[in-house]
Chains A and B, each alone.
Chain A
Amino acid sequence: MMLITCPWCGRRAQTEFSYIDDATARRPNMDSVNEAEHFKFVYERDSRRGVQYELWHHHAGCGKFFKIHRDTITHEIHATSKLSNGFLEGVK
């Protein structure tokens, strides 16, 4: 079982968490977005092999959403962080 360090609760079992989304996905400007871009934002995600930034939810614990920097090959978690901490800054 994977152990995930919730930024609030500490190290807890993966069963207490849900994967939510790619943490780098950004909502387009809804005033100017065309249908294809909107569709891409809502439905299309890369299936990366390697390190990626993810949003997770500690649903069976504190109920907070947070970010994980994780390797999808090794399952190694490099970092977790509160949404308010900007470890995604500069990430495309």
Chain B
Amino acid sequence: MPDIQNRSAFEGLFSYGIHGARRGQGVLIEAAPERVLILAKGNPKDTGFIAPIQKVLELKLPLVAGQTNDNGKIRVLWVGPDRWLVKAPCSTHSELVFKMSAAVPSSALNDVTHGRATLRLKGEDVRNILAAGCPLDLHPSHFKTGQCALTLLGHLNIIIDCFCNDTFEVTVTRSYAEELVNWITRNAGEYGYTIALSA
């Protein structure tokens, strides 16, 4: 039997340390904590979908475009008028998938945990760096804590998730992890950045 190892999508892609200009605080780049990612599709007007799934998640699904809801453990992102992305701790993986499919057996649930790669970016210049390639208005008065969006970063399709004013997660499909790291580091150089081993 082959020896299967759990490998980060960013393995071998990071050069750890401090890089680029030394201007102000720079930004901190790290792999986001490993989490379960589940895409759920269902009709927001169907109580047979909304009620049971909210019960399992112990969280309301955001019904407003670009909003997230978070209960401290699980975070749900609005990614379309009938689609949500669930981010949950890895420790809950098999139990959560099982409970969700049992709760809404006729809905489309896709476990994309191993199909995505997520970087966490922290620092006061993060918005400026992302703005170089993202067409959203990322000014703090417009893109606020708790908001998310599917959008572009250069030519990459990304999911951007604002955890707090200066902390963002950027998710790509896994095979684009390298281009994401390249894009971010290329554009973060003028501000300075630190690549850290994730906690």
> Hey, which bits of chain A sit against chain B, CB under 8 A?
1, 8-10, 12-13, 15-16, 60-64
Contact = CB atoms under 8 A, between A and B. Distances in A.
Interface of B: 65-66, 79-81, 83, 135-136, 149-152, 157
30 contacts: A8-B65, A8-B80, A8-B81, A9-B65, A9-B149, A10-B65, A10-B66, A12-B135, A12-B151, A13-B135, A13-B136, A15-B135, A16-B151, A16-B152, A60-B150, A60-B152, A60-B157, A61-B149, A61-B151, A62-B65, A62-B79, A62-B80, A62-B81, A62-B83, A62-B150, A63-B80, A63-B83, A63-B150, A64-B80, A64-B81
Q: SS class of chain A's interface: helix, strand, loop or mixed?
A: loop
Contacts of A63: 80, 83, 150
Contacts of A61: 149-151
Contacts, number: 37
Interface of B is mostly: strand
A60 B151 CA distance: 5
Contacts of B136: 12-13
Contacts of B66: 9-10
A60 B157 CA distance: 6
B152 A15 contact: yes
Nearest to B152: A60
A60 B149 CA distance: 10
A84 to B, nearest CB: 11
Contacts of B80: 8, 62-64
Contacts of B81: 8, 62, 64
Given A1-B135, A61-B149, 16 more contacts: A8-B81, A12-B135, A12-B136, A12-B151, A15-B135, A16-B135, A16-B151, A60-B150, A60-B152, A61-B150, A62-B65, A62-B79, A62-B80, A62-B81, A63-B150, A64-B80
A62 B66 CA distance: 9
B176 to A, nearest CB: 13
Nearest to B78: A62
B44 to A, nearest CB: 11
Nearest to A3: B135
Contacts of B65: 8-10, 62
